């Protein structure tokens, strides 16, 4: 799976945001030990602003209680087809869901749903719903690799169009050792669900390239010139474009952030490496976003061995002369597809709008996103940002301060303004 680095998980959600906000998610939980992780999943969906209703199978209740899900979602939890209330409700639940997620999905559940059974509330809902379905299988690795399970999952994905996330490799239940059978982690299930909620005809199949992060320009093998960019704004844009269904490539300088799920990442260090990577990858993209904080200068020479303090003292100091780096956005201009949209960023300390406009024109951007440097809660190294978006037609729009994740989502709407609108039937 692209972007999935074992052992490191994306940040847990800390606020309401699209594409989860106000969407109805029906979370089915079946009887496997991974069911305890689904409580976290239900909680995270709720924190992101989704309205979550939970359906537990009878065997799931042996591992987790309805009360736990009620407590974290504040919503209803259903168990049985045989209560008057649930019987009347199952069609309603199936009809109004934007997405059905089954986590964990046991081998038995996979078999029952592939066979089209409707012998409990959850399988009944699956037959009645027309919402997309995401399954997170969890079982023993031998059960997962068994021909029966293979055939069932193939039928669910190929014929019924269900989506699968996982299982992943790692430790199984106690005594079962290691193998491929673990349920995908809730942090990634959220994102898979997000893409099913966020995708739209306007973005599906679109190719988006994003540059992000700082660059490091070596002084010697251990020291470098760099800047304070965390890469967050670019990563947030790459993730938001992927959540909308785009095919995304991220060219990133060194960053401690977890690589966005599903995004093709090219890791570089220096401005010159970034320029080479962009030149190779850029052709054929519909949208290119230059969010990287590229160093404009690099040391004229990088020492081969570590520069020693005594040598510097003997020389009376360490004089570094800087030479110009390529301008990644400008120097790769000829590789942009005609008719594609190009976006730049500008971090300015004064005359924000005028300087950004001049930069947009000089670098042939269609949009430029200007952020104030040195302001608390905006720009570099900050979780939030306050941006002004300028376009070639003379438009100037200031977006209120918000989390970079939320800003990224809003920005993409502006950039895609000239693309065909979403299919009204969606
Ligand atoms: N940029 C780039 N390559 C560089 C410098 C900048 O691709 N060597 C891109 C950035 O990703 C951003 C835009 O150009 O989208 C503007 O970056 P900024 O650093 O604000 O502009 P500079 O050209 O460095 O201008 P100045 O130093 O005068 O502010």
Judged by average pLDDT, the poorest of 90-94, 156-160, 273-277 is 90-94
Helices 404-415 and 232-243: crossing angle in degrees, nearest 10, is 60
Which of the four pLDDT bands, split at 50, 70 and 90, describes residue 82?
Answer: low
Q: How far is residue 102's CA from residue 122's CA, in Å, rounded to a whole number?
A: 9
Summarised one tens digit per residue, pLDDT across range 236-261 is 999 999 999 999 999 999 999 999 99
Q: Are 253 and 225 in contact (CB under 8 A)?
A: no
Q: Which residues, other chains included, contact 236 with Cβ-Cβ below 8 Å and sequence gap of 6+?
A: 404, 405, 407, 408
Q: Which of 327, 355, 367 to mutate to test the pocket of ligand 1 (most atoms within 8 A of CB)?
A: 327
Give the helix ranges, DSSP H, for 171-307: 186-198, 232-243, 271-281
- The ligand 1 atom at the shortest distance from the C-alpha of residue 291 is 11
The pLDDT assigned to 7 comes to: 67
Q: Answer whether 329 contacts ligand 1 (Cβ < 6 A).
A: yes
What is the average pLDDT across 325-337? 97
The pLDDT assigned to 422 comes to: 80
Question: What residues are paired with 112 via a beta bridge?
Answer: none
- pTM reported for the whole predicted model: 0.94
> What is the percent of the chain where pLDDT is above 90?
79
> What is the percent of the chain where pLDDT is above 70?
95
Higher pLDDT, 381 or 180: 180
The pLDDT assigned to 4 comes to: 64
The answer, yes or no, to whether residue 21 has pLDDT greater than 80, is: yes
Cα–ligand 1 centroid distance for 346 (angstroms)? 7
Kindly tell me the sign of the dihedral angle through the C-alpha atoms of 195, 201, 202, 203: positive
Mean pLDDT across the chain: 92
Answer whether the bond into residue 128 is a cis peptide, omega within 30°: no
Phi, psi of 424 (to 5 degrees): -65, -20
Q: Which residues, other chains included, contact 82 with Cβ-Cβ below 8 Å and sequence gap of 6+?
A: none
Q: How far is residue 233's CA from residue 26's CA, in Å, rounded to a whole number?
A: 31
Q: Which residues of 332-363 are buried (b: 16+ CB within 10 A; e: fewer)?
A: beeebeeebbbbbbbbbeeebeebbbebbeeb
Distances (CA, A) of 408 to 176, 318, 414: 43, 42, 10
Q: Are 195 and 243 in contact (CB under 8 A)?
A: yes
The pLDDT assigned to 81 comes to: 67
Are 24-198 and 207-416 equal in CATH topology? yes
Which of the four pLDDT bands, split at 50, 70 and 90, describes residue 80?
Answer: confident
Cα–ligand 1 centroid distance for 294 (angstroms)? 7
Q: Answer whether 289 contacts ligand 1 (Cβ < 6 A).
A: no
Residue 162 tokens, joined: 């269900």
Judged by average pLDDT, the poorest of 160-164, 326-330, 348-352 is 348-352
The pLDDT assigned to 15 comes to: 87
Residue 226 tokens, joined: 């760099």
Q: What is the DSSP string of 208-229?
A: EEEEESB--EESSSS-EE----
Q: Are 164 and 153 in contact (CB under 8 A)?
A: yes
The pLDDT assigned to 135 comes to: 98
The correct CATH number of 207-416 out of 3.65.10.10, 3.40.50.2000, 3.40.50.10300, 3.90.230.10 is 3.40.50.10300
Question: What residues are paired with 168 via a beta bridge?
Answer: 182
Summarised one tens digit per residue, pLDDT across range 32-62 is 999 999 999 999 999 999 999 999 999 999 9
Residues labelled catalytic: 227
Cα–ligand 1 centroid distance for 329 (angstroms)? 8
Which of the four pLDDT bands, split at 50, 70 and 90, describes residue 418?
Answer: confident
Q: Looking at the domain that runs over 24-198, which CATH code has it been given?
A: 3.40.50.1950
Q: How far is residue 197's CA from residue 22's CA, in Å, rounded to a whole number?
A: 11
What is the average pLDDT across 154-168? 97
Domain ranges in the chain are 24-198, 207-416
The pLDDT assigned to 363 comes to: 97
């Amino acid at each position: 799976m692209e972007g999935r680095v074992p052992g490191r998980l994306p940040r847990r959600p800390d606020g309401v945001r699209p594409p989860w906000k106000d969407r109805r998610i029906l979370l089915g939980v079946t009887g496997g030990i991974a069911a305890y992780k689904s409580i976290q999943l239900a909680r995270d969906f709720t924190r992101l602003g989704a309205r979550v209703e939970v359906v537990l199978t009878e065997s799931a209740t042996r591992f987790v209680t309805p009360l736990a899900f009620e407590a974290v979602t504040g919503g209803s939890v259903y168990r049985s087809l045989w209560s008057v209330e649930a019987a009347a409700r199952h069609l309603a639940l199936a009809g109004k869901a934007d997405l059905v997620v089954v986590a964990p999905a046991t081998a038995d559940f996979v078999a029952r749903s592939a066979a089209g059974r409707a012998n409990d509330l959850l399988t009944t809902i699956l037959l009645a719903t027309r919402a997309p379905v995401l399954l997170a299988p969890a079982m023993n690795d031998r059960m997962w690799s068994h021909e029966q399970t293979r055939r069932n999952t193939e039928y669910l994905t190929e014929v019924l169009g269900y989506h699968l996330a996982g299982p992943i490799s790692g430790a199984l239940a106690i005594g079962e050792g290691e193998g491929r059978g673990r349920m995908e982690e809730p942090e990634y299930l959220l994102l898979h669900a997000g893409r099913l909620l966020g995708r739209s005809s306007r973005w599906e199949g679109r190719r988006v390239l994003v540059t992000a992060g700082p660059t490091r320009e070596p002084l010697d093998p251990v020291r470098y010139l760099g800047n304070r960019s965390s890469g967050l704004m670019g990563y947030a844009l790459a993730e938001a474009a992927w959540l909308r269904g785009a095919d995304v490539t991220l060219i990133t300088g060194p960053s401690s952030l977890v690589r966005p799920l599903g995004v093709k990442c090219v890791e570089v260090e220096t401005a010159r490496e970034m320029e080479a990577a962009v030149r190779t990858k850029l052709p054929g993209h519909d949208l290119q976003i230059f969010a990287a904080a590229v160093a404009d200068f690099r040391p004229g020479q990088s020492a081969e061995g570590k520069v020693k303090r005594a040598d510097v003292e003997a020389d009376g100091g360490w004089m570094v002369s800087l030479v110009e780096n390529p301008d990644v956005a400008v120097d790769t201009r000829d590789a942009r597809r005609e008719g594609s949209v190009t976006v730049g960023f500008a971090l300015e300390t004064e005359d924000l709008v005028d300087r950004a406009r001049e930069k947009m024109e000089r670098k042939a951007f269609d949009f430029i996103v200007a952020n104030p440097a040195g302001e608390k809660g905006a720009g570099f190294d900050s979780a939030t940002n306050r941006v002004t978006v300028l376009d070639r037609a003379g438009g100037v729009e200031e977006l209120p301060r918000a989390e970079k994740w939320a800003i990224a989502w809003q920005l993409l709407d502006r950039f895609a303004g000239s693309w065909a609108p979403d299919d009204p039937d969606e």
